[in-house]
Structure 1
Amino acid sequence: MTDKATMIVDKDFQIGEVDKRIYGSFIEHLGRAVYGGIYEADHPQADEQGFRSDVLELVKGLDVPIVRYPGGNFVSGYNWEDGVGPVDQRPKRLELAWRTIEPNWIGFNEFMDWCKKANTDAMMAVNLGTRGIDDARNLIEYSNHKSGSYWSDLRIQHGYKDPHNVKTWCLGNEMDGPWQIGHKTSVEYGRLANETGKAMRWVDPTIELVASGSSFIGMPTFPEWEATVLDLAYDTVDYVSIHQYYGNSQNDTSNFLAQSISMDSYINTVISTCDYVQAKKRGKKKINLSFDEWNVWYHSNAQDKKLDPWQIAPPQLEDVYNHEDALVVGCMLISMLKRADRVKMACIAQLVNVIAPIMTQNGGPAWKQTIYYPYMHASIFGRGTVLVPLVKSPKHDTKDFTDVPYLETVAVHNEEKEEVTIFAVNRNIEEALPFEIDLRSFGAFTVSEHIVLEHEDLKMTNTAEAPNRVTPHTSGNAALADGGKIQATLSKASWNVIRIKLT
């Protein structure tokens, strides 16, 4: 067994409050995320609108606070008007981002109906690829203006008397990427985002706006992109987006589990860039982060290259996740929580079928992928105040990283519920890790639960035929020790949730 890891947390040393929107997700018109995912009209468990009730229940189990829609790369070629009004009059379009046919059976209003059923809010994205200011101001008028104007009255004509009041809006998607329809330079995009945001705020001054940041940390324009865009749009926007996916295509598990260290660096660099622009402008407003695409993504890459183009809802980006993927997702969640003072929104990409925690079969069952569990645990138990973690851990080196701590951990204090929750990943794939947590500043407490997600086979997955092969148990051994401490053993390659009740 490796040397002991320790963490000290004090209730008065705080990183920041968790914005519940950090546990958001994403639905794009891509693959079977919409058609065959949240919507399948002829499914045995479809409701009166064609939404799959079994999927809705799994979504509710995650307590998802916000869902980004409708893209993604899709939005940069999307005409939102195609998706409103009578369904039988909607056009079928060539969807160029993913080379499919978009039938527009589901659009803006239907998605807002689904959000109500899923107990979530919408984060809408506007098209700044092929479109711009005019269409964005029209969409927000359609969505948020009460009545008495062309677009708001058209919404009423479409059967929605009350405004949808969407309050969070993304100004385009990955506009730094050459793969993006309508790709722009940082100056072109920064000017357009600023002018579009101004017009949208004139329609509804209560909205929040997210500027499109770098598509991933390896972009050649990172972080100059953020510096230029924010220099041009600082007065208008509230957040800058960042995106990142990780994979294990080299089948190097130790290196794979260490990749969230790169995520830490990414977050800190973007925060520094935001603060530089604020200082340069002598501004009072802090620009916060919306990590509105993040996940593991690599399993489906080869299969996607074999798909024939121009299908409706083909099985694209359908990664089947294994146990080690769940550990990386857990590390990514911890990475964002450690900067909860500035990462205020995040969206695991995506929610159903497309690189997703939930999978379905057309006409068949829905089930939880391995990554469902750390996402669910964080969303349910990770509300409150993130505490500064003073951590000591044995370390190791991997192919791309040095001094990687075996322990990745963070603590969240929910004062209202009188609870502290410790999230912890043991990156050691060969040995268990003794773990001591010093909570003496909280006074008296008890350990209410120690949840563990572990499996002897790091490549084990859940499938329609075997949906429960990788599931958490509550047989962890965290227990009280002397001096206001907790002692636990973290199984090798495990995700852990230690729940503490304050007394």
Structure 2
Amino acid sequence: MLFAGITVDPAFVVGPVRRRTFGSFVEHLGRCVYSGLHDPGHPTADADGFRGDVVDLVRELGVSAVRYPGGNFVSGYRWEDGVGARAQRPTRLDLAWHSTEPNTVGVDEFVRWARRAGVEPMMAVNLGTRGIQEALDLLEYCNVRGGTAWSDLRRANGAEEPHAIRMWCLGNEMDGPWQIGHKTAQEYGRLAAETARAMRQLQPDLELVACGSSGSGMPTFGEWERVVLGEAYDVVDLISAHAYYCEEDGDLASFLASALDMDQFIESVVATADAVRAARKATRRINLSFDEWNVWYVKRAESRPPTGDDWPIAPVLLEDRYNVADAVVVGSLLISLLRHTDRVHAASLAQLVNVIAPIMTEPGGRSWRQTTFHPFALTARHAAGEVLRIVVDAPVHDTARFGEVPAVDAVATYEPDTGGLVLFAVNRSTTEPVGLTVDLRGFPRLRIVEAVTLANPDHTWSATADDATTVLPRPNTSAAQDEDGVRVELPPVSWTMLRLDATV
């Protein structure tokens, strides 16, 4: 067995736990919307056709905000197609995913679904094939109370009260050559700034997200952020970051260390944003919206869209089936996001249902939780108060991608009012358990109330509709306490949550 130690002290605070860290993403892609969220023939469907069983799972998952309607889809989207009488809505070809979009679900339906699910809607505007005027029209439709053409149309469509959407993304991945309306940093930065200024003339208190690089491996990464923020720094609040990870060529050790890449990505974007701030002699800081992140096996056949004359509605696309190792990585990426809570102010797990998602459905039938559901749900439920800066002393092992990496990664959250402390930890070792000691001398009254671990001797186990419960987070009976802290054993390839509360 390997051994590691963690020291936690309530004096060392990174920042608050932000509920928007636990956001997600819904795109008109594959079966995310149609037969995922929306399935009128399902026994649990509501009057809008949204599945009640999925709404229940979304609430259990603890999702706080949902980004909509894309993603690559938004760069060719005409939002007007998705409002008004459904029978009169046009059918369009979606070039992003080579599919047919029936526009059965649009902005009004999505907002009603979001209210029912208890999540904040986060809207994206099309800056690919469209621009300033269309963004203003959508904002007016959504947020103006009435007395104008677009707001009165919303009211005529059944939404008497404004949708009151505060957070808006200014396009999507505009640095990507795959994006409809792909632009240079200078072109996009100016368009984003002009769109932001106009939207703020209509509603000054919006929270606006500029497109950052669509990945840290992009040739323009860093320079893109510098140029875009050089144009838009004064009129946006956040800049986006997107990252996906997968196990490549059987390199499990590097995959389990994916959070190191996320850490570096975040810190590089923060450094660039702060350099622009210094050059402009600005006082306000630009923070991050990590509004696409997940495990995604992009090279698998299920990620290849249709071709030729095949333009199906809601094809099976990007339906990755996640195993235990994937869930451990999702838990470790949440650790990274929480660790950077001082600068990561929002995040979106991409996506929510069926498409690289924690929730899967059968059309008209069953729904189930993938392995990745569990670390997200437990972190969203129990992380609260403040994120603490902890010290981890752990043995290292070699990886092909990152060199030497610590076997253990962790983060802690603390609620000063209640005295509750929660530790989230991963064991990255592929073969060795780790005996972890947590020094809690700064919390003399804390006692263990729960210790759970997600692990399995077969880290390739995946949930299915027939068996989604054989491998779940289970009580970790090794957790024990003495006057200095807690000891717990972390199995290889595992994610663990340890909760402690103050004694009376």
Matched residue, 2:227: 228
Equivalents in 2 of 1:174, 1:161: separation in Å? 33
After TM superposition, give the deviation of residue 156 of structure 1 in Å: 0.7
Equivalents in 1 of 2:501, 2:50: separation in Å? 38
The answer as to whether partners of 1:18 and 1:344 remain within 8 angstroms in 2 is no
Query: Is it true that 1:70 corresponds to 2:56 in the alignment?
Result: no
Equivalents in 2 of 1:339, 1:125: separation in Å? 24
The answer as to whether partners of 1:169 and 1:210 remain within 8 angstroms in 2 is yes
The answer as to whether partners of 1:435 and 1:487 remain within 8 angstroms in 2 is yes
Equivalents in 2 of 1:90, 1:301: separation in Å? 34
Q: 1:264-297, CA deviations, whole angstroms, 9 ceiling, x for partnerless residues? A: 1100000001100111100011100000000000
Equivalents in 1 of 2:53, 2:199: separation in Å? 36
**Which consecutive residues of structure 1, in runs of 5 or more, have no partner in the other structure?**
none
The answer as to whether partners of 1:299 and 1:319 remain within 8 angstroms in 2 is no
Matched residue, 1:47: 46
Equivalents in 2 of 1:388, 1:249: separation in Å? 31
The answer as to whether partners of 2:125 and 2:169 remain within 8 angstroms in 1 is yes
Counting only pairs closer than 5 Å after superposition, residues 86-485 of structure 1 correspond to structure 2 as: 86-298=85-297, 301-305=300-304, 307=306, 309-483=310-484, 485=485
The answer as to whether partners of 1:318 and 1:355 remain within 8 angstroms in 2 is yes
Equivalents in 1 of 2:440, 2:298: separation in Å? 40
Taking structure 1 as the reference length, the TM-score comes to 0.98
Equivalents in 1 of 2:41, 2:147: separation in Å? 38
Equivalents in 2 of 1:417, 1:444: separation in Å? 12
After TM superposition, give the deviation of residue 415 of structure 1 in Å: 2.5
The answer as to whether partners of 1:385 and 1:412 remain within 8 angstroms in 2 is yes
Distance 1:105-1:417 versus aligned 2 partners, 3 A rule: farther
Q: Which amino acid aligns with 2:487?
A: Q
After TM superposition, give the deviation of residue 299 of structure 1 in Å: 6.5
Q: Which amino acid aligns with 1:337?
A: L
Distance 1:81-1:427 versus aligned 2 partners, 3 A rule: same
The answer as to whether partners of 1:46 and 1:52 remain within 8 angstroms in 2 is yes
The answer as to whether partners of 2:213 and 2:241 remain within 8 angstroms in 1 is yes
The answer as to whether partners of 1:434 and 1:488 remain within 8 angstroms in 2 is yes
Q: 1:461-480, CA deviations, whole angstroms, 9 ceiling, x for partnerless residues? A: 00011111321112342221
Matched residue, 2:498: 498
Q: Which amino acid aligns with 2:486?
A: I
Equivalents in 2 of 1:306, 1:139: separation in Å? 29
The answer as to whether partners of 1:323 and 1:370 remain within 8 angstroms in 2 is yes
The answer as to whether partners of 2:66 and 2:121 remain within 8 angstroms in 1 is yes
SS at match of 2:411: strand
Percent identity (aligned): 50
RMSD over equivalenced CA pairs, Å: 1.1
SS at match of 2:475: coil
Q: Count how many residue pairs are aligned between Structure 1 and Structure 2.
A: 501
Distance 1:306-1:29 versus aligned 2 partners, 3 A rule: closer
**Mean CA deviation greater in 126-135 or 45-54:** 45-54
**Which consecutive residues of structure 2, in runs of 5 or more, have no partner in the other structure?**
none
Q: Which amino acid aligns with 2:177?
A: P
Distance 1:230-1:299 versus aligned 2 partners, 3 A rule: closer
After TM superposition, give the deviation of residue 158 of structure 1 in Å: 0.7
After TM superposition, give the deviation of residue 300 of structure 1 in Å: 6.8
Q: Which amino acid aligns with 1:321?
A: Y
SS at match of 2:468: coil
Matched residue, 1:487: 487
The answer as to whether partners of 1:300 and 1:317 remain within 8 angstroms in 2 is no
SS at match of 2:447: strand
The answer as to whether partners of 1:168 and 1:209 remain within 8 angstroms in 2 is yes
Equivalents in 2 of 1:235, 1:119: separation in Å? 32
The answer as to whether partners of 1:461 and 1:469 remain within 8 angstroms in 2 is no
